[in-house]
Each structure stands twice: as C-alpha cells, then as structure tokens.
Amino acid sequence: MSETRTFTVQGMTCGHCVTSVTEEVQEISGVEHVDVVLETGAVTVTSSQPLDDTAVRAAVEEAGYRLG
Amino acid sequence: MSETRTFTVQGMTCGHCVTSVTEEVQEISGVEHVDVVLETGAVTVTSSQPLDDTAVRAAVEEAGYRLG
C-alpha cells in the first residue's frame, strides 16, 4: 500500500531546482514517486511506507532549499 | 594573446542556470575562462582566439537561455 503526501518547498526558481529536489527526495527509503510543481512549490511524494518528515526536510535542504 | 568579451544572457534564475551556461560556453573552441554574474546576466568570456558570436549564441541556447 502506498501513501501520498504533499510538502511545500520554498526557493525553487527554475527547472534545475525542480530536478535537484526531485533527485534528493527520490533517494529517501520507500519513495516511489515524486512530483514537483515549480510555480507553487508543491512536492507530492508517494511512498511504500510512512514518510519520515525529518528525512524529507533533510533531502530538501540537501538540494539547497527549505520546506515552507 | 587572449581576448575578453562580455555578453548578456536572459532568463538565468539560480546557480544551476549559471552552471549550465558556464558549462556550455566553456566548450566553445578557444575559450579559456567563463565568468557569469547571475544578478546581471553578464557572461564574460576569455578566449585564446576571436570568439564566434554564432557559437556563443548557440551555446547559450543549448543551455536553455537567450542572449539579451
């Protein structure tokens, strides 16, 4: 069973930012799909196990951005 | 002998954009150094031979941007 949650990321300005965030979040254990909408900062994550908020925050910060 | 010229690139919004433009322009034959200022869009290129404007324009467009 999958779980889908949406986070908001601040500071993304272009497609490269979207790629960076997507790549980092995809590396979190259990993550199956990541969808990022640049205009709104919405990052929707589908995972096979409950997401660890700390891991999501760390991934976003590793990419160079912050959760809003 | 080196020649230094400055171009203006439109549409760069973040450090990833700077990296993309820098990488593409560096590939032009004879280019020795590329300096990009995100805030102004100024791309300063030092080359060992006169730069081909068409090559610079093509490199910038390959990176996904336009000369201003």
pLDDT in tens, B18-56: 999 999 999 999 999 999 999 999 999 999 999 999 999
The residues of B whose Cβ lies within 8 A of any Cβ of A are 13-17, 19-20, 64
Return the residue in A9, A13, A14, A18 with the most chain B beta carbons within 10 A, the one to mutate for interface testing: A14
Interface predicted TM-score (ipTM): 0.70
Over B1-45, what HEC string results? CCEEEEEEEECCCCHHHHHHHHHHHHCCCCEEEEEEECCCCEEEE
pLDDT in tens, A34-58: 999 999 999 999 999 999 999 999 9
Q: What is the mean pLDDT of residues A15-38?
A: 97
Please check the confidence at residue B58 and state whether its pLDDT lies above 90.
yes
